[in-house]
């Protein structure tokens, strides 16, 4: 299997935060979602792999090369969306196109304007007059219009309304459909990942809590909602995490078939990514 991105034992220490043993392997044709609450280490991971910050330990390889040794040609194959950073808001869509033509040898002007047209983005208005959703769309278009092989997206759906989110998520699904491209995206909006990702990584306080293919998660993981009197009948070793909310215990099990055999009276349902995140982070 060929990997577009490999992060091995990445560590970065700050005074009050420690990104600890981050391991991510992103194969071609796949989408990995890095999921965690604000301040969990998602953006630090992205910054490290883009060489925006130095890191203390570990190894990052992109297209099989160390990230610090990538040539300009290699970097042409990467598209990036950063949540909090872009061109000056006084530029407009046409200005950005002219600049990108200078920065990327393979900038596809036609594709850029086709998508601008598709998303109904005005060309002569400065960015400062756009909504957050529109700005994010332009960021995404800029990341895609040079036809990269790897997309690194930091909170790409932040600030978008559901319709915009649907359109952009659809764009990402289309991007990986050639089985060569891949996407690493961070988000704290779990619903965006539900139907998109192939693998999901839950991260909290700089540590990976769970790294699991989406299919395995759907097949094996389950959630049971029980009242306190029933909760006491379940052994601790039978479940991974539990969380009490409004006098109901939410229990996360990692092998729903086995659990069902032992406790046939409980109804097990598929967990959403939001519930997974909540239980993994807040559960006991």
Partner 1 sequence: MYTIKGLLQKDVYVFKNFKGNIIFSIVMFLFLITMASFQMDCFLAGSILFLIFFGMNSISTFSYDENADSDKYLLSLPITRKEIVFSKYLFVFLNSFLSIAIGILVSFIITLWVRGTVNRFADSLRICCLSFTSVSFLMCSNIPCIYKWGVEKGRMQSVIIPAVFIFVVGIFGGILLLLFPEIYQELDLLSLFKISPIICLLLNILFYGVSYMISYHIFAKKSL
Question: Is residue 78 part of the contact set for partner 1 (CB under 8 A)?
Answer: yes
Out of 57, 98, 244, 269, the residue judged to bind partner 1 by CB under 8 A = 98
Question: Is residue 103 part of the contact set for partner 1 (CB under 8 A)?
Answer: yes
CB of 30 to partner 1, least distance (A): 21
Nearer to partner 1, 52 or 123 (CB): 52
Question: Is residue 115 part of the contact set for partner 1 (CB under 8 A)?
Answer: no
Nearer to partner 1, 118 or 128 (CB): 128
Out of 1, 16, 69, 84, the residue judged to bind partner 1 by CB under 8 A = 84
Question: Is residue 150 part of the contact set for partner 1 (CB under 8 A)?
Answer: no
Q: Which stretch binds partner 1 (CB under 8 A): 3-11, 72-80, 198-206, 235-243?
A: 72-80
Nearer to partner 1, 74 or 211 (CB): 74
Nearer to partner 1, 152 or 278 (CB): 152
How far is residue 31's CA from residue 198's CA, in Å, rounded to a whole number? 5
DSSP string, the chain: --EEEEEEEEEEE-SS-EEEEEEEEEETT-EEEEE--TTSSHHHHHHHHTTSS--SEEEEEETTEEGGG--HHHHTTEEEE-TT--S-TT-BHHHHHHHHHHH-TT--HHHHHHHHHHTT--SSSBGGGS-HHHHHHHHHHHHHTT--SEEEEESTTTT--HHHHHHHHHHHHHHGGGSS-EEEEEES-GGGTTTT-SEEEEEETTEEEEEEEHHHHHHH-EEEEE-HHHHTTS-GGG-SEEEEETTEEEEEES-HHHHHHH-TTS--BPPPHHHHHHHHHH--
CB of 118 to partner 1, least distance (A): 23
Site pattern 26..55 for partner 1 (x: CB under 8 A): ---------------------x--xxxxx-
Q: Which stretch binds partner 1 (CB under 8 A): 67-75, 108-116, 236-244, 256-264?
A: 67-75
Question: Is residue 76 part of the contact set for partner 1 (CB under 8 A)?
Answer: yes
Question: Is residue 101 part of the contact set for partner 1 (CB under 8 A)?
Answer: yes
Site pattern 121..140 for partner 1 (x: CB under 8 A): -----x--------------
Nearer to partner 1, 21 or 47 (CB): 47
CB of 106 to partner 1, least distance (A): 10
Question: Is residue 232 part of the contact set for partner 1 (CB under 8 A)?
Answer: no
CB of 63 to partner 1, least distance (A): 13
How far is residue 53's CA from residue 46's CA, in Å, rounded to a whole number? 9
State the number of CA atoms in the 13 A half-sphere of 128 facing the CB: 4
Residues in contact with partner 1 by CB under 8 A are 47, 50-54, 72-73, 75-76, 78, 80, 82, 84-91, 95, 98-99, 101-104, 126, 152
């Amino acid at each position: 299997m060929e990997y577009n991105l490999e992060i091995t034992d990445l560590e970065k220490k700050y005074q009050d935060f420690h990104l600890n043993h981050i391991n991510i392997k992103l194969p071609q044709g796949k989408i990995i979602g890095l999921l965690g609450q604000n301040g969990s280490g998602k953006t630090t991971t992205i910054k490290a792999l883009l060489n925006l910050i130095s890191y203390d330990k570990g190894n990052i390889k992109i297209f099989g090369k160390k990230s610090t040794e990538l040539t300009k040609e290699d970097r042409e194959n990467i598209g990036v969306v950063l949540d909090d950073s872009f061109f000056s808001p006084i530029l407009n869509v046409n200005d950005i196109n002219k600049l990108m033509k200078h920065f990327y040898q393979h900038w596809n002007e036609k594709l850029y304007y086709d998508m601008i047209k598709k998303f109904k983005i005005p060309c002569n208005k400065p960015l400062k007059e756009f909504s957050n959703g529109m700005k994010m769309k332009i960021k995404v278009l800029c990341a895609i219009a040079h036809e990269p092989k790897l997309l690194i997206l930091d909170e790409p759906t932040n600030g978008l309304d559901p319709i915009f989110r649907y359109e952009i998520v659809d764009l990402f699904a289309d991007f990986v459909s050639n089985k060569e491209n891949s996407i690493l995206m961070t988000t704290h909006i779990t619903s965006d990942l539900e139907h998109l990702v192939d693998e999901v990584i839950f991260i909290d306080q700089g540590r990976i809590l769970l790294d699991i293919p989406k299919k395995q998660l759907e097949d094996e993981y389950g959630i049971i909602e029980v009242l306190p009197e029933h909760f006491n009948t379940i052994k601790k070793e039978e479940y991974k995490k539990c969380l009490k909310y409004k006098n109901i215990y939410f229990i996360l099990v990692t092998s729903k078939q086995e659990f069902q055999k032992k406790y046939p009276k409980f109804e097990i349902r598929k967990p959403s990514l939001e519930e997974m995140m909540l239980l993994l982070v807040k559960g006991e």
